[in-house]
Structure 1
Amino acid sequence: MVFQGVLNILQYPAMSNIPPLTALRAFEASVRLGGFARAAVELNVSTSAVSHQIRNLEELLGARLVERSTGMGGIRLTAAGESLLPAASAALSMLEDACSQIKGVAKQLTVSANVPFSAMWLARRLAEFSSRHPETPLNAIIQDGEPDFARFDIDLAVVHVPERALRPDDVILLQEEVFPVCSPELHPFASKAVCRCRLLQESHQNSPEIDWRTWSARFGLPGDFETKIVRYSSFSQVIGAAIGGAGLALGRSPLIDPELRSGRLVRLFPDLSRPASWRFVLRKGPARRHRMLDPLIEFLQAEAAVPATPPVLST
């Protein structure tokens, strides 16, 4: 009888409302990765084993947690699943952090952004954050468009989106200002004869403020001015050409603020600018919050709030 009592205690501990860890891991991984099959690969078990663990979890809790999505083999959370996920993710993340610390292996914090933003704004700031928190390994990757959180285990994504596409949980980091810029050598001529200058333009859909046609009336450009436009596939190319004196570019602040501060680029006219129609926003990964995620977000927001004071050449 005593043995049976001990066995009962082992089988049914005092914290009986907490489901088995394997079931919670299967649930969290399935949601984070978007399906049972992907979770099975990560957990090194069969897909049926993942399905079985989640079914057992639902039976223990007396509630349906996930429903299979039609068409793509994925899943979606029920109201009960939405309630459980944050707690399960936080608990597993804390366990992972604690085990990593005991083993002496720090958990990596992964951040994604597109090429121009990463190279011209984010990279230096991530290095600064790393110098303040050397115990946290940082991994910066390039992702254009919608980030693949699951595939690259992204904790935080910086996404460039039009204002109409903002999501309720997006954290706005930056709204850019757009204005004409050029090299200081070209400035004396360009400020007096815009219509005679080569025009450098980034190819970007649905962004009228970075299209020279939007500015043509302001500068009195001739009807054939588009023959003077050189189009580039990326903003980095445009700015590189402008720094080299190839022509006038439509600069995006704060991405070009370092070039303005150094004098490699100057504004064509000090008070002429347009607000950008796109935003840089922060999006958190769907699960497994890194303990340094919120400090990183606060750091980036503080950096974005610092005003720029670039020099301006007189005409």
Structure 2
Amino acid sequence: MTHLPPLNALRAFEAAVRLGGFARAAAELNVSTSAVSHQIRALEELLGARLLERSTGVGGIRVTPAGARLLPAVSEALSRLGEACADIRGTAKRLTVSANAPFSSMWLARRLAEFSSLHPDTPLNAVVVDNEPDFARHDIDLAIVHVPQQRLAPDDDVLLRESVFPVCSPELYPFASRAVCRCRLLQEAHENSPEIDWHSWTAQFGLPDDFETKIVRYSSFSQVIGAAVGGAGIALGRVPLIEPELSSGRLVPLFPGLSRAASWRFVLRRNPAERHRLLEALITYLHEEANVPPRTEFIAAQPTKRRTMADDAPA
């Protein structure tokens, strides 16, 4: 233990790497930039190895092989120290998770509440971030990011793959299943996702040349599904996000068995500087939840009953 470096030097090293420079580390640690530089230089002399090098790239520093070897141990040790101190003070560190708005409200929110009930001693925080998060700025431990399939990295931790198919309310189903071309079409605004663009389904449903006038566009998927549940038209639903609507019967597949694979994936991204004690447990829990099959097989058998009820109502 007598050969361990000073804690302040280790904190300076970790902060400089995580934040990408001495000045940013100094601001976080509330010391001068020269103090950070001095602490890291003293740490390098104590270890007999260069940990950081000046770089002309973004951030101004580059981690050496020795620094890359030291960093995970320092990050984990500082995180465990922080958690232990928080436990003693009775202020356990929050576990913060981010996701975009549709995924957060339609799939993640309920599951985070259930996970919290299993770990009531740890505060859980969910934030909405539509794009890649700034982990340090938002203090995020785990991000769930919507990534195009072509941009997936080999080591990406994929949580969910989606399927897309037309859905509508049970009240609209009798008419919609017979005359798609006469119905209002609900569409989410999203780039590089042909499967959720009604134009890519033109041949499938024999839509007329002027069907563009029947499309209502929304800025979010939640709006699309809200309109579909209200009977406003036919939506291109994304499973498993709409699994609750399918399970409850608020939405039904227009043509059971017809679906397309989505071109985006939901990917888990860990904060490289944080190791919350419950992070791995949460990741395991989310993967288990993602592997539960959607109940579309059960719902696909329901439109016959609902169709009879709807047929009795005025057109």
TM-score (norm 1): 0.92
1:163 Cα offset (Å):
1.1
Match of 1:99 in 2: 85
In 1: Cα distance, 2:245 partner to 2:180 partner: 21
The answer to whether structure 1 residue 285 and structure 2 residue 299 are counterparts is no
CA distance in structure 1 between the aligned counterparts of 2:107 and 2:60, rounded to whole angstroms: 36
State how 1:1-315 maps to structure 2 within 5 Å: 15-16=2-3, 18-70=4-56, 72-310=58-296, 311-312=299-300, 313-314=303-304
**Matched residues in 2 for 1:180 and 1:126: separation?**
28
Output the amino acid matched with 1:85.
Answer: L
1:74 is displaced (CA, Å) by 4.4
Deviates more, 1:27-36 or 1:131-140: 27-36
2:84 partner letter: A
TM-score between the two structures when normalised by the length of structure 2? 0.92
Residue 84 of structure 1 aligns with an amino acid whose one-letter code is L
Across the aligned residues of Structure 1 and Structure 2, the Cα RMSD in angstroms comes to 1.4
Task: Give CA-to-partner distance per residue, 1:199-228, whole Å, 9 cap, x none.
Answer: 111111111111111111010111121221
Return the letter of the residue paired with 2:294: A
Give distance in 1, aligned partners of 2:186 and 2:25. 47
CA change 1:104–1:309 in 2 (3 A) is: same
Tell me: CA distance 1:69–1:181, structure 2 relative to 1, closer, same or farther (3 Å).
Answer: farther
Residue 72 of structure 1: CA displacement? 3.8
Is the CA contact (8 Å cut-off) linking 1:169 and 1:283 kept in structure 2? Answer: no
Relative distance call for 1:87 and 1:200 in structure 2 (3 A) is: same
Q: When the two structures are aligned, how many residues end up with a matched partner? A: 301
Taking structure 1 as reference, are residues 225 and 163 closer, same or farther at Cα in structure 2, changes over 3 Å only? same
Structure 2: which 5+ runs fail to align? 308-315
Q: Decide whether the 8 Å contact of 1:197 with 1:228 is kept in 2.
A: yes
Identical counterparts, % of pairs: 74
SS at match of 2:91: coil
Amino acid of the structure 1 residue aligned with 2:6: P
Secondary structure of the residue aligned to 1:195 is helix
Alpha-carbon shift at residue 124 of structure 1 (Å): 0.6
Structure 1 residues 274, 60: closer, same or farther in 2, change over 3 A? same
CA distance in structure 2 between the aligned counterparts of 1:227 and 1:79, rounded to whole angstroms: 60
Displacement of 1:22 in angstroms is: 0.6
Whole-Å Cα distance in 1 between the matches of residues 191 and 44 of structure 2? 46
Structure 1 unaligned residues grouped into runs of 5+: 1-13
> 1: distance between equivalents of 2:44 and 2:153?
30
